[in-house]
Structure 1
Amino acid sequence: MSQNNENGKTMERKQIHSALVKAIGEMSNPALSADNPFFKSKYVPLSDILELARPILAKQGIAILQTPSVRYEQQQGNNTQVAVVKICTTIIHDSGETIEIEPFELKADKPTPQSIGSAITYGRRYNITSILGIAGADDDGNVTEQGNGQSQPQDNQQPQQPPQTAISSVEAKIISAVDDASPQGKEYVKVTLEKGSKKLQVIAIEPDMMDKSLKLEQNSVEKFHLKQEQGINYLVGIGEHVQQ
C-alpha cells in the first residue's frame, strides 16, 4: 500500500505496517465485562479497550485518531429526523506515515444526545476492535443497521424481549431512575430499588414504563411488578397497573 506525499509522489508505508503488525501481535482479547440488556449479551466497554491498547500501540510509536460527526436525515414518508453518526479513523505512526480507515456510519436509535453519544461510542469501539483484531462483544455479529434507523438483529429478528413468564411483585423504595442506552444506542431506564437492606436493579424498556419510572419521586414507596429473564429484572408494572 502507498500514499501520496506533498510532491504528489508515492511512498511506501513500511514503517507503520511493520509497527502495526508488532502491536497486533501483542494484543489479547479483553474481558467482556459489561452487559447489554437488550440482546442478553456481554461486551467490552471502550474505556477497557483503550486501556489495553494504548500502551501496546505507544510502544510501537502508533496512535489512533477518531473523529465523530453527525448529520440529520429526514425519514421517507414522515417528518421524523434520523441522526446518522460517522466515525473517521486514522492510524498515525511517529515516522509521519498514516493509514486512513474507511469511514464507518450508523444510525442512532433516536436523534437525542443520549442515543447519539451511545452510537458514537459503539462506532469507535467497532472500528478499534476491527483494526486491532480483538473481540469487543459476543453480539456484534448479530446486529446490523436497517434502513429504518433501528439497530436490528440479522434475518429481521426483533431484539429479544422478556418472555411471558410469571410476574412477581415487590413493594420497595425507589432510589434512582436513570436514562441509559445499550451499545447500539437503544434507550432504556435503569431503576434502583431498595427493599429493607437489599438493593435491586431493574430495567424498563417499554416506553410507558420508562416514562413512569422517570416520574417517580426519589425515596417514594411503590408496588413494582417484574419479570425476570436470564438474571435481568424487567419492569412491567407500577402500582396496580401491569403491562401485559
Structure 2
Amino acid sequence: MENDEAKALYKALSLFRKNIKQPVKDGENPYFESSYVTLEGVIKTVDEAMNGTGLSFVQEVATINGLPSVRTTLTHEDGGTMTTEWLSLLPGGKATPQDIGSLITYAKRYQLAVWVYQATLTMTATKLAKTIIRCRIAVNSK
C-alpha cells in the first residue's frame, strides 16, 4: 500500500471509529435464554458507520484445508486495503449443509464484529474467540 493510500485509509478508519455505535441485540437464542447481535445487525451497524468515510468491506467464503473459511477485506475508495487471515471453523456432527451455513454465518459475524472492535461478544463467545486464536497460533507455529 502506497503512503498516500495508507494515510487516506487510516484517516477514514478514524472517522469510522467516531461514527460506530454499539449494535442492537436483534437475535434470540432460546436454548441459552440469551440475546445476541445477528450478522445482519453487525453489517447494518458497520454500514451506517462507514457512510461518508470512503470505506467498504467484502467477506469471502472458501474451503481451506477442507474447512469452511471466511476472510474480510476492508477497502478505501483511494486504494488502501486491509485483509484478515482466513478464519476456519470445524463443523460438528455430520457437517450437513445447514451446519456449514451456520458456521459460515457465525464466522462472518464474529470476524467482522471483532475486527471493528465492537463489544458484541458474550463471555462464551469471547472464550471461543480466544480458543480459535490459540489454535491458529499453534497450527501456524508448527
For residues 100 and 26 of structure 2, the distance between their equivalents in structure 1, rounded to whole angstroms, comes to 22
For residues 17 and 53 of structure 1, the distance between their equivalents in structure 2, rounded to whole angstroms, comes to 16
Which of residues 23, 36, 41 is equivalent to 1:43? 36
Q: How many residues align?
A: 127
Point out 4+ residue stretches in structure 1 off by more than 6 angstroms.
none
Deviations for 1:176-227, whole angstroms, at most 9, x for unmatched residues?
xxxxxxxxxxxxxxxxxxxxxxxxxxxxxxxxxxxxxxxxxxxxxxxxxxxx
Match of 2:99 in 1: 115
Which of residues 45, 69, 79 is equivalent to 1:52? 45
Query: Does 2:10 match 1:17?
Result: yes
Change (3 A) 1:94 1:64: same
Cα RMSD (Å): 2.1
Match of 1:143 in 2: 128
Higher normalized strand content (fraction of residues): 1
Deviation at 1:26, TM superposition (A): 1.4
1:40-189 equivalences under 5 Å are 40-71=33-64, 73=66, 84-109=67-92, 110-138=94-122, 139-143=124-128
Q: State the secondary structure of the residue aligned to 2:22.
A: coil
Deviation at 1:94, TM superposition (A): 0.3
Deviation at 1:29, TM superposition (A): 1.1
Change (3 A) 1:38 1:101: same
Deviations for 1:83-132, whole angstroms, at most 9, x for unmatched residues?
x2211111010001111112212112242111111111111111111121
For residues 141 and 134 of structure 1, the distance between their equivalents in structure 2, rounded to whole angstroms, comes to 12
Unaligned runs of 5+ in 1: 4-10, 74-83, 147-244
Higher normalized helix content (fraction of residues): 2
For residues 96 and 64 of structure 2, the distance between their equivalents in structure 1, rounded to whole angstroms, comes to 12
For residues 124 and 23 of structure 1, the distance between their equivalents in structure 2, rounded to whole angstroms, comes to 19
For residues 36 and 108 of structure 1, the distance between their equivalents in structure 2, rounded to whole angstroms, comes to 19
Q: State the secondary structure of the residue aligned to 2:84.
A: strand
Higher relative contact order (CA 8 A, sep 6+): 2
Does the 8 Å CA contact 1:108/1:116 hold for their aligned counterparts? yes
For residues 87 and 64 of structure 2, the distance between their equivalents in structure 1, rounded to whole angstroms, comes to 13
Change (3 A) 1:103 1:52: same
